[in-house]
Amino acid sequence: MACASFAKLNAASSSWIGQQSFGQRPGSSSTRLTTRRVSFPIRASSYKDELVQTAKSIASPGRGILAIDESNATCGKRLASIGLDNNEVNRQAYRQLLLTTPGLGEYISGAILFEETLYQSTIDGKKFVVCLRDENIVPGIKVDKGLVPLPGSNNESWCQGLDGLASRSAEYYKQGARFAKWRTVVSVPCGPSALAVKEAAWGLARYAAISQDNGLVPIVEPEILLDGDHGIDRTLEVAEKVWAEVFFYLAENNVVFEGILLKPSMVTPGAEHKEKASPETIAKYTLTMLKRRVPPAVPGIMFLSGGQSEVEATLNLNAMNQSPNPWHVSFSYARALQNTVLKTWQGRPENVEAAQKALLVRAKANSLAQLGKYAAEGESEEAKKGMFVKGYTY
């Protein structure tokens, strides 16, 4: 699974091993320090080339990610909104509608699935993973086990799921998944506390290392929740702190940056702030944060929508692509791609084709936004409705 590579550190200058030279004789009174190179063996995933290629494929021009990895409970809430029971038959029918949309691969490069969906097939027996591959869409998998209260914090959460992750990841790879997602959250109104930020960053880094060791490109997602009445400058401050911590621990865990993708929140004011920010302002703040914190080795930034309306999420993405960026700047949307689709479908077989066309409309709009060519003329009123839910959980 793994091969040995070597990181060479200058022992005299490394802050991690102090200023005492390994070449200085014990008891020597000389203050002159000699240098000596010290090699430490570091595990490097045998999947490295494949990881880099997978990440590049997902971060391809004009394409982004369709996130349909909602838990069964959350999917049930979506189905309930159109009067359907939460059972496997209805969940399978809805996911089949999405994953068998003809031409979807023109705009979508990856699809994040819930575990149930990874193993499901169409009613005709064709595996969903195969449906995706036929459209040149990379199958992905949600691997975290959800949020639980973080003891010792200010009513904050931490994300569970590291136990058994290696064996689960290996099985997901065999099933056809080639990338993974782990979502943790940071709350601005709750501080955030240093403990919560460190826990989020460390958990993401361990997950990323384990994923790469098993052939899955990790999507790194510390979501800065929209909850709160804080201004955009406060969001920027928190985002910079969180991402600094995340990349510190990614490096500590020897994660290959060329084989990861990021799923950040856009830098916006809190949802209850008295003033909304324009797409241009959001783009300016968000790109400022990314340029200060994200190495150009990372191939793709795939934004989450976080409760923005379908049109808001697309306008903001478009504003960020008005000039070249060091990374592929795109989308990994759930509600911002599915809201109109679900309401068009209404659980009726005769509406499947219309619902699939609605999905293509939203996917194409965000494809254009990734290219910086989107215009909002002609968007429906439904697409302009906000979807923020306070304390939202997947």
Q: Which of 199, 245, 263, 312 is catalytic?
A: 263
Q: Which of 199, 221, 310, 312 is catalytic?
A: 221
The token pair that represents 77 in the structure block: 């809430």
Q: How many CA atoms lie within 13 Å of 164's alpha carbon, on the beta-carbon side?
A: 8
Residues 6+ apart with CB under 8 A from 239: 224, 264, 265, 267, 289, 293
Q: Are 174 and 219 in contact (CB under 8 A)?
A: no
Which alpha helices (H) appear in the chain, and where do they start and end? Answer: 48-58, 72-80, 88-99, 115-118, 128-134, 165-175, 194-213, 232-252, 279-293, 310-320, 335-345, 352-370
DSSP label at 385? S
In contact, 8 and 38? CB cutoff 8 Å: yes
Is residue 263 among the annotated active site residues?
yes
Instruction: Give SS3 for 50.
Output: helix
Residue 246 CA to residue 221 CA, distance in Å, equals 10
- For residue 332, the surrounding DSSP H or E stretch is strand 328-333
Q: Is residue 221 among the annotated active site residues?
A: yes
- Residue from 99, 113, 109, 121 nearest 55 by CA: 109
Interatomic CA distance for residues 254 and 249, integer angstroms: 9
Distance in angstroms (rounded) separating the CA atoms of residues 272 and 353: 37
Where b means 16+ CB within 10 Å and e means fewer, 162-187 reads: beebeebbbebbeebbbbbbbbbbbb
Q: What crossing angle do the helices spanning 352-370 and 88-99 adopt, rounded to 10°? A: 50
* Token representation of residue 25: 């004789």
Locate tokens 């692509």: which residue?
321
Q: What positions carry a catalytic annotation?
A: 221, 263
